Amino acid sequence: MSNNNSPIGVFDSGVGGISVLREMVKIMPKERFIFFGDSANAPYGVRPVEEIKELTFSNVKKLLEMDSKAIVVACNTATSAAVRDLRNTYEDLPIVGIEPALKPATHMFPEGRIAVMATPMTIKQQKFKSLMERFREDAEVIPVPCPGLMDYVESGELEGERLERYLRDVLCIHLGETYDGIVLGCTHYPFILKTLRKVVGDKPVIFDGAEGTAREIKRRIELIGLSATEDFEGDQVTFITTDTHPDSKIELMNMLFNV
Ligand code: DGL
Confidence of residue 138 (pLDDT cuts 50, 70, 90): confident
pLDDT at residue number 79: 97
pTM for this entry: 0.96
Kindly report, residue by residue over 58-79, the tens digit of the pLDDT.
999 999 999 999 999 999 999 9
Q: Print burial letters for 170-199: b (CB count within 10 Å at least 16), e (below 16).
A: bbebeeeeebbbbbbbbbbbbbbeebbeeb
Q: Confirm whether 115 is domain-assigned.
A: yes
Q: Confirm whether 2 is domain-assigned.
A: no
136 pLDDT exceeds 90? no
Q: Which residue's CA is minimally distant from atom 9 of ligand 1?
A: 45
Q: Ligand 1: does its nearest atom lie under 6 Å from the Cβ of 99?
A: no
Q: DSSP assignment, residue 7?
A: P
Active-site residue identified among 186, 200, 217, 226: 186
Q: Confirm whether 202 is domain-assigned.
A: yes
Q: Confirm whether 128 is domain-assigned.
A: yes
Q: Are both 22 and 144 inside the same structural domain?
A: no
What spacing in Å lies between the alpha carbon of 174 and ligand 1's midpoint?
26
CA atoms within 13 Å, Cβ hemisphere of 179: 28
Confidence of residue 176 (pLDDT cuts 50, 70, 90): confident
Q: Are both 51 and 133 inside the same structural domain?
A: no
Q: Are both 94 and 216 inside the same structural domain?
A: yes
The total of structural domains in the chain comes to 2
**CA triplet 14, 81, 185: central angle to 5 degrees?**
60
Q: Ligand 1: does its nearest atom lie under 6 Å from the Cβ of 150?
A: yes
Instruction: Give 253 or 175, the one with higher predicted confidence.
Output: 253
Q: Confirm whether 1 is domain-assigned.
A: no
The minimum-distance atom of ligand 1 relative to the CA of 16 is: 1
Print the domain residue range for 148.
102-208
Q: Ligand 1: does its nearest atom lie under 6 Å from the Cβ of 75?
A: yes
Q: Are both 204 and 123 inside the same structural domain?
A: yes
8 Å CB contact between 182 and 150: no
**H or E element: which one contains 73?**
strand 70-73
Q: Ligand 1: does its nearest atom lie under 6 Å from the Cβ of 39?
A: no
Q: Ligand 1: does its nearest atom lie under 6 Å from the Cβ of 122?
A: yes
Q: Return phi, psi of residue 89, to 5°.
A: -80, -45
The minimum-distance atom of ligand 1 relative to the CA of 77 is: 10
CB atoms within 10 A of CB 4: 13
With the most atoms of ligand 1 within 8 angstroms of its CB, the residue from 11, 75, 207 to mutate is 75
Q: Confirm whether 3 is domain-assigned.
A: no
Identify whether 75 is a catalytic site residue: yes
Q: Confirm whether 107 is domain-assigned.
A: yes
Q: Ligand 1: does its nearest atom lie under 6 Å from the Cβ of 185?
A: no
Bond into 104 cis (ω within 30) = no
**Can you give the CATH number for the domain in which 161 is found?**
3.40.50.1860
172 pLDDT exceeds 90? yes
Identify whether 172 is a catalytic site residue: no
Q: Ligand 1: does its nearest atom lie under 6 Å from the Cβ of 188?
A: yes
Active-site residue identified among 74, 75, 149, 237: 75
Q: Ligand 1: does its nearest atom lie under 6 Å from the Cβ of 16?
A: yes
Mean pLDDT of 178-196: 98
Distance, in Å, from the CA atom of 207 to the CA atom of 211, rounded to the nearest integer, reads 10
With the most atoms of ligand 1 within 8 angstroms of its CB, the residue from 12, 47, 191 to mutate is 12
pLDDT at residue number 232: 87
Q: Are both 230 and 242 inside the same structural domain?
A: yes
